[in-house]
């Protein structure tokens, strides 16, 4: 992100916070977002986050989540530029320990049970079934511009998934359906010394199938693990999640349905990054490898 834009938004967001920051610690930075811990002259700290589209409504999502009773950091101030959000939020401090599967399951139950505000984008059955076609259109754009020339196999797999999508998407609106965090990993939870568990990173939150969150928990850096996913779904139900979580949908067991659609969702998002949001041809090899691997997993899990 542009350092001058970050500095300008930081200045605007911290006006009225007791003076300019005395210290700035960069916590995270990539092409679409930048996160800092700010220390003010009085010793108080806050987290400052800047984000480019499509992440420019996280302040609204966090505010709505807090109003709904979720354990999320307070938004202290926010400013919106032409295409960039600057947001000052409560500093939750350093974690007391790593979150466990029990923490994740309990937080997911809480997340999926609170009221959903109108501001969250909808993700219903039709939306889910549209993902492979949307991914194909984006892949076509990349190839029309001379990028991803060796991606014919990806296109073939996406075409097969697209043909099966209407049947496989059935059950998308079965419980749990509501808030979807979209980045629901152990790194998006923080356990404080008093035992309270918070979540954050709601920049891509939407209203949709909660199972996408549940299978996000195991991440994507290793191959999909249906047995591990099933164990987490069962833990979620034990923590108070709806029993319908474990029901078959789209002709598949819950864990394969969820993992398969999660991979399709990731593929569509990665292609959008490559073509629009980041649009850096030098990153094409890495994106193509990831998209190919996840598309292959999706085809296998969805049995197409």
Q: Same domain for 61 and 153?
A: no
Could you list the residue range(s) of the whole structural domain that residue 266 is in? 101-301
CATH code of the domain in which 20 resides? 3.30.200.20
pLDDT > 90? residue 23 = yes
What does pTM read for this prediction? Answer: 0.96
pLDDT digits (tens, 9 = 90+) for 41-68: 999 999 999 999 999 999 999 999 999 9
**Does residue 297 lie in a domain region?**
yes
pLDDT digits (tens, 9 = 90+) for 135-179: 999 999 999 999 999 999 999 999 999 999 999 999 999 999 999
* CA atoms of 261 and 169, how far apart (whole Å): 8
**Does residue 58 lie in a domain region?**
yes
pLDDT > 80? residue 18 = no
Q: Same domain for 55 and 180?
A: no
Q: Same domain for 79 and 152?
A: no
Q: How many domains does the chain have?
A: 2
Q: Same domain for 83 and 111?
A: no
| Residue 43 burial by Cβ neighbours in a 10 Å radius (0-12, 13-18, 19+) | exposed
* CA atoms of 154 and 136, how far apart (whole Å): 9
Is the distance from CB of 108 to CB of 210 less than 8 angstroms?
yes
Q: Same domain for 85 and 112?
A: no
Q: Which pair of tokens denotes residue 92? A: 């939750």
Buried b (16+ CB within 10 A) or exposed e, 61-86: bbbbbeebebbbbebbbbbeeeebbb
Q: What is the pLDDT of residue 143?
A: 97
Q: Same domain for 86 and 189?
A: no
Closest among 291, 273, 278, 156 to 220, alpha carbons compared? 291
pLDDT > 90? residue 16 = no
pLDDT digits (tens, 9 = 90+) for 246-279: 999 999 999 999 999 999 999 999 999 999 999 9
């Amino acid at each position: 992100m542009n350092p001058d834009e970050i500095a300008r938004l930081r200045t605007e967001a911290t006006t009225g916070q007791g003076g300019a920051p005395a210290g700035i610690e960069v916590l995270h930075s990539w092409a679409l977002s930048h996160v800092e811990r700010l220390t003010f002259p009085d010793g108080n700290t806050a987290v400052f986050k800047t984000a480019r589209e499509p992440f420019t409504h996280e302040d609204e999502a966090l505010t709505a989540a807090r109003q709904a009773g979720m354990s999320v950091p307070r938004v202290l101030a926010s400013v919106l530029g032409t295409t960039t959000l600057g947001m000052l939020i409560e500093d939750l401090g350093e974690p007391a320990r790593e979150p466990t599967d029990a923490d994740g399951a309990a937080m997911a139950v809480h997340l999926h049970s609170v009221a959903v505000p109108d501001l969250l984008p909808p993700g219903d059955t039709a939306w889910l079934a549209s993902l492979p076609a949307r991914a194909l259109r984006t892949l076509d754009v990349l190839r029309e511009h001379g990028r991803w020339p060796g991606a014919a196999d990806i296109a073939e797999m996406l075409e097969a998934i697209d043909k099966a999508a209407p049947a496989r998407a059935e059950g998308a609106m079965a419980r749990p359906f509501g808030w979807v965090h979209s980045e629901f990993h152990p790194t998006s939870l923080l356990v404080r010394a008093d035992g309270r568990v918070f979540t954050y990173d709601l920049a891509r939150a939407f209203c949709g199938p909660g199972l996408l969150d549940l299978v996000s928990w195991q991440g994507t850096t290793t191959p999909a693990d249906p047995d591990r996913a099933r164990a987490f779904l069962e833990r979620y139900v034990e923590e108070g999640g709806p029993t319908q979580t474990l029901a078959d949908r789209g002709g598949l067991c819950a864990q394969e349905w969820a993992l398969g659609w999660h991979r399709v969702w990731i593929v569509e998002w990665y292609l959008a990054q490559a073509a629009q949001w980041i649009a850096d041809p030098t990153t094409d090899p890495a994106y193509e490898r990831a998209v190919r691997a996840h598309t292959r997993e999706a085809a296998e899990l969805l049995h197409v």
